Amino acid sequence: MRLLVLAETPQVISFAQQWAAVTGGSFVVAAPEGATADGLVALMKSEGCDSLAGASTSLGRDLLARAAGLLNLSMISDVLSVESRDGRLTLTRPMYAGNVLARVRTLGDVGVYSVRSAAFALPEPSAPEPIQIPTHTTPGCEVLSLDAPKQKRPELAQARVVVSGGRPTRDAATFEKLIGGLADALGGATGATRAAVDAEIAPNELQVGQTGKVVAPDLYIAAGVSGSIQHLAGMKDSKVIVAINTDPDAPIFEIADYGLVADIHQAIPELIGKL
Ligand SMILES: Cc1cc2nc3c(=O)[nH]c(=O)nc-3n(C[C@H](O)[C@H](O)[C@H](O)COP(=O)(O)OP(=O)(O)OC[C@H]3O[C@@H](n4cnc5c(N)ncnc54)[C@H](O)[C@@H]3O)c2cc1C
């Protein structure tokens, strides 16, 4: 058995190392730059791979599902752990916004897997060097340039501290001042609820939750966040959760380790001033 790993996050390599320990197979690492589904399939063929894995990111979700279709292989998304059960490769994945954990297998133990990076540790240093994916063009589509947006903060899914803002942050400038300001004071990343994204207060790539990113930082500060089940699905595994909310009955306080019943427009500038 041989696995191709699209190494968009280092934790996917940990998944591959565990996969190899369970299956006795080997794995090849592909660099994510310029990856396309066609390119991944071509690389799998040239490297003799029968399974494919990558991170559950926007890119991974997009490419891996397409590749699974091209390969006619089963896809298991949001893998949380790998184990051997009855001598078979068995994976755990969440269902119903993380309320149920399902143990699943594919036919013949081959498949396409998207992996939740937050559920895996950083890899052992013995990981092989990544190889380049051959350039493939999608019919009818010409790539003119690829520009990565400049990040002034840590990547949301990898950050050790995440400060998230909800609807009461009101507008993009206030979000940046309060949520961005507190994140910068703590060296962390910013996140947002879907309500804040829908109201164009925060960009889509900052959304945390069931239909956004899944994070598990050491510290998660939820500011003006109600704590809907869809938001909790993306952050409930954070090690320490701090909630700031004017409503003492807000559901976020049920999972918070520390709670502050306060207005974010007053409390956050005070917090930033003290840091
Ligand atoms: C299929 C589906 C998928 C979804 N996926 C996601 C997802 O991935 N991520 C996500 O976040 N949501 C998701 N949602 C939306 C989710 O249900 C909630 O609507 C959303 O999370 C609410 O965002 P919010 O907490 O910012 O807003 P609100 O629900 O409006 O809550 C705002 C909170 O701020 C408090 N507050 C108000 N003013 C202040 C103030 N000045 N200071 C402090 N606190 C204040 C209020 O008491 C309240 O608790 C999804 C919904 C559906 C149906």
pLDDT in tens, 145-199: 777 767 789 989 889 999 999 999 999 999 999 999 999 999 999 999 999 999 9
Closest C-alpha to ligand 1, atom 47: 247
Residue labelled with tokens 């952050």: 235
Ligand 1 pocket, residue 212 CB under 6 Å:
yes
Ligand 1 pocket, residue 57 CB under 6 Å:
no
| CA dist., res. 215 & res. 175, Å (int) | 20
Segment 74-107, tens digit of pLDDT: 999 999 999 999 999 999 999 987 789 999 999 9
For the whole model, what pTM was predicted? 0.80
Ligand 1 pocket, residue 56 CB under 6 Å:
no
Best probe residue, ligand 1, of 178, 210, 229, 254 (max atoms within 8 Å of C-beta): 210
Which residue from 73, 32, 70, 77 is spatially nearest to 51, judged by alpha carbons?
73
pLDDT number for residue 139: 67
Answer whether residue 218 shows pLDDT above 80: yes
Contact call for residues 143 and 179 (beta carbons, < 8 A): no
Ligand 1 pocket, residue 164 CB under 6 Å:
no
Strands, DSSP E only, in the chain?
A: 2-6, 26-30, 51-55, 75-79, 81-85, 88-95, 100-104, 112-115, 161-165, 189-192, 219-223, 240-245, 258-261
Segment 65-76, tens digit of pLDDT: 999 999 999 999
Best probe residue, ligand 1, of 96, 225, 249 (max atoms within 8 Å of C-beta): 225
Which residue from 267, 257, 260, 264 is spatially nearest to 236, judged by alpha carbons?
257
**Average pLDDT of every residue of the chain:** 92
Residue 166 CA, ligand 1 centroid: distance in Å: 6
| Of the listed ranges 118-127, 194-203, 214-223, the one predicted with least confidence | 118-127
Residue of 194 and 32 predicted with greater confidence:
194
Ligand 1 pocket, residue 169 CB under 6 Å:
no
pLDDT number for residue 98: 79
pLDDT number for residue 138: 65
Atom of ligand 1 nearest to the CA of 225: 25
pLDDT number for residue 59: 86
pLDDT number for residue 35: 87
Answer whether residue 27 shows pLDDT above 70: yes
pLDDT number for residue 150: 75
pLDDT number for residue 157: 84
Ligand 1 pocket, residue 167 CB under 6 Å:
yes
Q: What average pLDDT does this structure show over 213-223?
A: 94
| CA dist., res. 22 & res. 17, Å (int) | 9
- Domains of the chain: residue spans and CATH: 2-119 (3.40.50.620), 161-274 (3.40.50.1220)
Answer whether residue 129 shows pLDDT above 80: no
Closest C-alpha to ligand 1, atom 30: 167
| Of the listed ranges 20-34, 141-155, 199-213, the one predicted with least confidence | 141-155
Answer whether residue 133 shows pLDDT above 90: no
At 222 the three-state DSSP class reads strand
Residue 228 CA, ligand 1 centroid: distance in Å: 6
Atom of ligand 1 nearest to the CA of 208: 9
Q: What average pLDDT does this structure show over 231-252?
A: 96
Segment 248-262, tens digit of pLDDT: 999 999 999 999 999
Report CA-CA distances (Å) from 50 to 3, 86, 111. Answer: 6, 21, 7
Residue 84 CA, ligand 1 centroid: distance in Å: 39
Residue of 130 and 1 predicted with greater confidence:
1
